[in-house]
A and B are shown apart, each in its own frame.
Chain A
Amino acid sequence: MPSLKDLKTRINSVKSTQKITSAMKMVAAAKLRRAQDSAERGRPYADRMQQIINSLAAKADPSSAPQLLVGNGQDKTHLLVVVSADRGLCGGFNGAITRQTRTEVARLRGEGKTVKLLMVGRKSADALRRELGDSYIEALEGIQGTSVAFADAASIGDKVRDGFEAGEFDVCTVIFNKFKSAISQEVTLKKLIPAEVDESAPSDDQGVSYEYEPEEEELLAAVLPRNISTQIYSALLESSAAELAARMTAMDNATRNAGDLIDRLTLVYNRTRQATITKELIEIISGAEAV
């Protein structure tokens, strides 16, 4: 049976842990609101860009369309851009990304393809370094802070584009956590190259014939590279909102668990104290009776 002093120490240590987790929860909640806000404000740009690409792609001739749209005809080397967090303590957030990456790499390798990885965020990069470190072409960190800068997304976009043009890979996919709600995230795979085009989406021109300046295909060739940065940017925004949401939920659970633990320990503490008192009383009484 633990002594009273041990129990007291234990309770105090759990209490201070609880203070930390509840503070982290509040910090995450406050930041989440901002991140969610900027994720939402980033959507119009990405949506319109996608609309424009959809309507341009519908008109483009597949045989002469830019390679960024239709691919370079090969399917041998895949680049995965893996977006995880720089910091831990956010529940299954990084674990889910790491797991998905592992399965995806195994699947692609099983099909006899070469896989290269561009890691954004420290956590998954560290977790996978031992088994997949050889495939890393780069591991970036420090990009997702409180706010995500478009310039960072653009520089990743440039790397991806340059790599594709240099023939380093044929297909590029981003793996990230999509923010669904404050309590749920969804691991999402999004294909960057060849660009994902929603053929079924009703084109927004509604039969109106657009004039293009310059010609459709030149325009498409100008838009597609920008679209890569845009897609990466929106993945980063989603991911950082999802990270904060995951951290908030995880810390909320931790705070609640700490509360339960404190209750249980307090119960044991009180029982032990009562037992000691009873024992002392018995000793006194039996001592008095003996006299």
Chain B
Amino acid sequence: MAETTQLELVTPADIMVQKPAEMVVAPGAEGLFGVLPRHAPLLSDLVRGIVEVHENGKVANRFMIDGGLADVSGESVTILTERAEDLDKASRDEVKSRADAASGAEAEFLNAVLAAL
């Protein structure tokens, strides 16, 4: 396996993902950016969008995040976000029922998740 960088996706309630990745693509406030191992230290604001985790040259996982922060160093990427949803595990019906029950920012986010599914 090629060189990897340690990805951590942290929400207020939990560390959602913790795994090595070959490349992470994150929705920066000034545009999408990809992070490879040995990336220069970077602190970036994120907007609502999709974080892609690349493994073996392919997209392995996709997460919808609701804005946040990315703290990138040579060997790790830490993404802090208030809300995140695993697009490979989420089911349409379940997200839909949660979106109907939620209100405000939460509902907006879940609708965005729904659109991306």
CA gap between A179 and B10 in the complex, in Å? 22
Select which of B14, B45, B78 is within 8 A of A48 by beta carbon: B78
Chain B interface residue bracket vs A:
20 to 34
B13 touches A41 (CB 8 A): yes
Q: Which of A67-75, A96-104, A189-197, A202-210 contacts B (4 or more CB under 8 A)?
A: A202-210
Select which of B13, B29, B30, B42 is within 8 A of A42 by beta carbon: B13
A222 touches B45 (CB 8 A): yes
- Chain B 1-33: CB-based contact to A (< 8 A → 1; otherwise 0): 000000000111111000000000000111001
Smallest Cβ-Cβ distance to B14: which chain A residue: A41
CA gap between A45 and B28 in the complex, in Å? 19
Q: Which of A151-170 contact B (CB under 8 A)?
A: 151, 153-155
Select which of A41, A151, A214 is within 8 A of B30 by beta carbon: A214
CA gap between A41 and B13 in the complex, in Å? 6
A-B pair count, CB < 8 Å, reads 77
Which residue of A48, A155, A209 has the most chain B CB atoms within 10 A of its CB atom? A48
Q: Is B105 an interface residue (CB 8 A)?
A: yes
Q: Which of A212-254 contact B (CB under 8 A)?
A: 212-214, 218-219, 222-223, 226, 229-230, 233-234
B24 to chain A minimum Cβ distance, whole angstroms, is: 15
B45 touches A41 (CB 8 A): no
A57 to chain B minimum Cβ distance, whole angstroms, is: 13
B29 touches A214 (CB 8 A): yes
Q: B residues near A, CB below 8 A? A: 10-15, 28-30, 33, 40-45, 68-69, 71, 73, 78, 80, 82-83, 102, 104-106
Q: For the A-B complex with A209-B41, A210-B43 known, give 15 more contacts whose Cβ atoms are closer than 8 Å.
A: A42-B12, A42-B13, A48-B80, A52-B71, A208-B41, A210-B41, A211-B42, A213-B44, A214-B29, A214-B30, A214-B45, A219-B43, A223-B69, A230-B12, A234-B12
List 9 contacting pairs A-B, 8 Å CB cutoff, sorted by A.
A42-B12, A46-B12, A150-B13, A151-B102, A151-B104, A155-B104, A210-B42, A211-B40, A226-B82
